[in-house]
Structure 1
Amino acid sequence: MSKISACLKDIHTRSLFNHLQLNIHKTELIPTSRFRKSLPLQPSSVLDLKPSSEVRSLGVYMDSHLRMDANINAICRSAMVGIRKIGLIRRFLDRETTTRLLHAFISSRLDYCNSFHVALPKTLLRKLQMLQNSAARLVCQTKRRDHITPILHELHWLPVKERVNFKILLLTYKSLHGLAPRYIDNVLTPQSSCRNLRSKSQNRLVSAKVKTISYGHRALSYAAPMLWNSLPNYIKDAQSVTVFKRLLKTYLFLKAF
């Protein structure tokens, strides 16, 4: 707790030095380890903060165990409101206009910060997939008992899991080509060897070691190398972001269907 108090004090001092006001009422403290139940955090003596079990940052809900169920439930609530409203006026819209509305109000919510959803349990991703299925049926005006795979294939929509992997791989490509923030570059390490191995020409990344079974494999330092190393070389060697996105979407689409 003393380290956290010192960190908060530094932030407060830096804010005052740069003539910035630190809003105490919007400052939250959340413990993110489930293994120290015997050492509960006490209110900070610097800014009088009380630890919370759930916080919201830039529209993303995060809980102390990083399960992301609160964030997914919030997405489902807001997206279902949009689906119902668009459904009320669907008979007055053509297919192209309906698709644009659903991309603006539904797909944008599914894609916003979806890199947090990498390697989540299937039960949580299924909630988001059901949202996408409802949006697809609304576009094609099909019934709930109709199989969803041909509908998604016809619309050429990537399923939710593949959309998450697409975001992770796109961040990885940008990082390797100097187009990503430095904090992403710091967690991705290209594989190197003093010997002339076959994998040296495959542009592989080193996967970080994880210590926690529950959410360690969801870290970018582990998930990104695992997804990147499984890509074919012709995709990893794309000459531009536009070409990479096109090849990657086609690859994930064929893999999903």
Structure 2
Amino acid sequence: MPEISDREYWIESPGGRLFAKSWTPIDPGSTTPLILFHDSLGCVALWRQFPQLLAKALNRQVIAYDRLGFGRSDRRTDMLSGDFVAMEAEQYVPLLCESLSVNEFIACGHSVGGGMAVWAGASLPRLCKGVITIAAQAFVEDRTLAGIRIAEREFETPDNMSRLAKYHGDKAEWVLHAWIDTWQDPAFVDWSLDAALRLLRCPQLTIHGEYDEFGSLEHPRRIAGTHGEPRILSGIGHNPHRECPELLVEIIEDWLTSQSSASAKIPADR
């Protein structure tokens, strides 16, 4: 396995500073990094060992960042707009790429971060050379809302809020409501990834757990469509990067290798 070095960054944006971190092999086999997009309650730290495992297995750089309002990035006081998934890709990803001198990348996102990865591929086709979604939502489903309502009740306990604050500090309350209030807003009920999926042209891998509590198997079917590749993980829920990180890395590694061998659309990772 290659030796990995990690580095932290601070990126200026109109709304405040963003925190980012990279994991880079000493002698990488590819100059095209993966950019990780976290979920609704996530941040760089909550990826845990997954970025380093990816960097070692793929022998390429992996980059993760905290969205504005999350983790170590600066706070925000406004609530998320109905188009926040698309806006994340269009407004903040170019700043990240410019700051880290990234000329092209593969987008990999978990949950709502998967939607942001799809929008990155759709809106930044010259930069984004592949899209990987993990437990992503393609539309607002009753199952998703039911899972959010259960989580909302669970976060009424001080212990759960304390765990959230461990990663987001005094922004934890905002983080929670940015998720719960946005998805349960009646104005958000018609949200979907359909517009982005129609524009997406780069290779695509869709990963989803069989027992995902926030989305049925209709989500990976819709995201994969007629040209993507769906992978359903037996016995796995909403967090494959925590439930089966080694398997998830293996699936991503195999897919990148097959894409490189078959079409050369994604630069070789070896």
TM-score, normalized by length of structure 1? 0.29
Of structures 1 and 2, the one with the larger relative CO (CA 8 A, separation 6+) is 2
Q: Which is higher, the Rg of structure 1 or of structure 2?
A: 1
Q: If each structure's helix is expressed as a fraction of its own residues, which one has the higher value?
A: 1
TM-score, normalized by length of structure 2? 0.28
